Amino acid sequence: MSGSSSAVFVSRIQSLPILDRGGDQVGKVRDVVVQNRTQLRPPRVKGLVAELFARRRVFLPMERVHSIDTQQIIISGVINTRRFERRDGELLVVGDLFDKQVARVGTSELATIYDVAINQPRTHEWAVSEVALKEPSPRRPFGRGHVVIVSWRDVPDFFIESRQENEQLIARLTDMKPADVARELHDLSPERRAEVVQALEDDVLAEALEELPEAEQVSVIASLDTERAADVLEEMDPDDAADLIAELDDETAETILGRMQPEDAEDVRTLLTYDAATAGGLMTPEPVILAPDATVADALALMRQEEISSALAALALVVRPPLETPTGRYLGAVHIQRLLREAPSLLAANLVDNDIEPLAPDADVAHVARYFATYDLVCAPVVDSDQRLLGAVTVDDVLDHILPADWRGAQLAGRGEAADA
């Protein structure tokens, strides 16, 4: 059995030792994880199932594979020791495809998958290239048959994904945390992702988009009709929506903004006037805002609202009317810990922390980061030169700009950095 010169048959790498760049063995190959894409693109090889010496099976992304030969596999980086769990849309070559009966293009008889070959058509990407099929021999219909090697295109039912599977996935996603929904969307094939995105509720999709890399956010929004895109952006935090709108071409951005609710669109347009790496560009215009006559009970009721993030709920900001940003004169900030210790009927304005200096909207991200470290805060007010409150910056907004640009994609590709004990 022989295929193209650059192809590697999975049966030949199964059980091969996995070595780090220093030459030390860290485990053995047990299987290969693949995922279907479209009929015009070969199934993607996502990674290897590696068995460590403790017999724990873990996932090893193909991005970590430095080289494959007939004797060994060399990897780079650190292995995530979280136990391998197969995700929706993934199949194991050895566990699921070997011995599977499939129909070959141009024939009416079923053949059996005998082996699968993978290759590396471009840097850092591996894909299925060929399939070895064992076909019944006309002369020996009950014998072992003969093996032929065909292109992956000649096996149209390589994967079978049903509507029921999508419905089950959507039901599960609804109960997941946004970061986990984002990881599931990231791992799906493009066509299946499009089906799932269309079926998700706007608020679920909006929260997941905030956890995806910018390129994938743009791809998802571009796949939606204008009305749906506007609905989803309205559900996003204004600062995240502004970041996403800024990545779209001007015509598409303006069309979507024109379909959004006027108040939501206005918030986004205002944020777009600031440099993205300043306090004005980082802030949300919807912090917890209190009037001077608001009580502790009033403040805590606002902070308990489901749509208020834990970071925004850390501070209540007291202002003169109007209470919509930009507000009247900014009076000060009250910590939630202080509010929890005081009588419900007490005026919140009497509890402001006068040591917290507000940020200017043009403060750059480096200054904002130092500010958070100095005051040991997770939320900070942004005030203009006329002492009007414009919004608030949270520490997660700052981290988004301090971390490497591709940190979300790297985290999703590595399936998280947390390891099982």
Confidence of residue 416 (pLDDT cuts 50, 70, 90): very low
Q: Which stretch of 4-13, 221-230, 338-347, 380-389 has the lowest confidence by average pLDDT?
A: 4-13
| pLDDT over threshold 90, residue 220 | yes
Residue 418 lies in a domain: no
pLDDT for residue 123 is more than 70: no
> At 421, is the pLDDT very low, low, confident or very high (cuts 50, 70, 90)?
very low
**24 in a domain, yes or no?**
yes
Same-domain pairing of 170 and 93: no
Range of the domain at 32: 1-159
**Structural domain contains residue 414:** no
The answer to whether residue 28 is domain-embedded is yes
pLDDT of residue 63: 80
Judge if 373 and 312 occupy the same domain. yes
In a domain, 409, yes or no: no
> Does some domain include residue 4?
yes
Section 233-239 average pLDDT: 93
Mean of the per-residue pLDDT values of the chain: 87
Lowest mean pLDDT among 142-156, 295-309, 344-358: 142-156
Residue 31 resides in a domain: yes
Residues 179 and 152 in one domain: no
| pLDDT (0 to 100) of residue 417 | 41
Q: Say whether pLDDT at 101 is over 80.
A: yes
- 125, 82: one domain: yes
CATH number of the domain at 23, please: 2.30.30.240
Asked if 64 and 148 sit in the same domain, the reply is yes
Q: What is the pLDDT of residue 139?
A: 57
pLDDT digits (tens, 9 = 90+) for 305-350: 988 999 999 999 999 999 999 999 999 999 999 999 999 999 999 9
For residue 133, the model assigns a pLDDT of 93
The CATH number covering residue 339 comes to 3.10.580.10
What's the pLDDT at 408?
57
Using H for helix, E for strand and C for coil, what is the string for the chain? Answer: CCCCCCCEEHHHHCCCEEECCCCCEEEEEEEEEEECCCCCCCCEEEEEEEECCCCCEEEEEHHHEEEECCCCEEECCCCCCCECCCCCCEEEHHHHHCCCEEECCCCCCEEEEEEEEEEEEECCEEEEEEEEEEECCCCCCCCCCEEEEEEHHHCCCCCCCCHHHHHHHHHHHHCCCHHHHHHHHHHCCHHHHHHHHHHCCHHHHHHHHCCCCHHHHHHHHHCCCHHHHHHHHHHCCHHHHHHHHHHCCHHHHHHHHHHCCHHHHHHHHHHHCCCCCEHHHHCECCCCEECCCCEHHHHHHHHCCCCCCCCHHHEEEEECCCCCCCCCEEEEEEEHHHHHHCCCCCEHHHHCCCCCCCECCCCEHHHHHHHHHHHCCCEEEEECCCCEEEEEEEHHHHHHHHCCCCHHHHHHHCCCCCCCC
* Number of structural domains found in the chain: 3
Confirm whether 114 is domain-assigned.
yes
User: What is the pLDDT confidence band of residue 420, given thresholds at 50, 70 and 90?
Assistant: very low
Judge if 249 and 143 occupy the same domain: no
Instruction: Please give the pLDDT value at position 347.
Output: 97
Same domain, 322 and 393: yes
Mean pLDDT of 218-244: 92
What is the structure's pLDDT at 404? Answer: 62
